[in-house]
Amino acid sequence: MNDIAGSLWLQWEAHWDAMLGLALLLGAYLYGVGPLRERYKLADYAEPRQIATFCAGIVVIFFALASPLHVLSEQFLFSMHMSQHVLLTLIAPPLLVLGTPDWLLRPLFRPNWSFHIARVLTHPVTAFGAFNVVFSIWHIPALYEASLMSEAVHALEHILMVGTAILMWWPLTSNLPELPRLDYPFQMGYI
Residue 133: which residues within 8 A CB-CB, separation 6 or more? none
Three-state DSSP state, 141: helix
Regarding predicted confidence, which is higher, 26 or 6? Answer: 26
* Dihedral sign from CA coordinates of 73, 75, 78, 79: negative
Domain boundaries, the chain: 2-190
Q: In whole angstroms, what is the distance from residue 164 CA to residue 34 CA?
A: 27
pLDDT digits (tens, 9 = 90+) for 123-164: 999 999 999 999 999 989 999 889 888 989 989 999 999 999
pLDDT of the residue at 3: 56
- Give start and end residues of each alpha helix (H) in 67-150: 68-75, 78-86, 92-98, 102-105, 112-121, 124-137, 141-149
pLDDT digits (tens, 9 = 90+) for 7-59: 666 677 788 888 999 999 999 999 999 999 999 999 988 899 999 999 999 99
Mean pLDDT of 69-97: 87
The pLDDT-based confidence of 88 (bands split at 50, 70, 90) is very high
Torsion of Cα atoms, 39 then 45 then 47 then 52, to 10°: 40
pLDDT of the residue at 133: 98
Closest CA to 157 of 95, 100, 99, 74: 74
Residue 128: which residues within 8 A CB-CB, separation 6 or more? 168, 190
Closest CA to 46 of 105, 108, 106, 104: 104
pLDDT of the residue at 2: 53
Q: What percent of the chain has pLDDT over 90?
A: 69
pLDDT of the residue at 79: 81
Q: Is the pLDDT of residue 104 over 50?
A: yes
Spacing of C-alpha 154 from chain mean position: 15
Residue type, 155: A
Cβ contact 86:143 at 8 Å:
no
pLDDT of the residue at 157: 93
User: What pTM does this model have?
Assistant: 0.91
Closest CA to 135 of 57, 81, 66, 64: 81
Q: Is the pLDDT of residue 73 over 90?
A: no
pLDDT of the residue at 1: 47
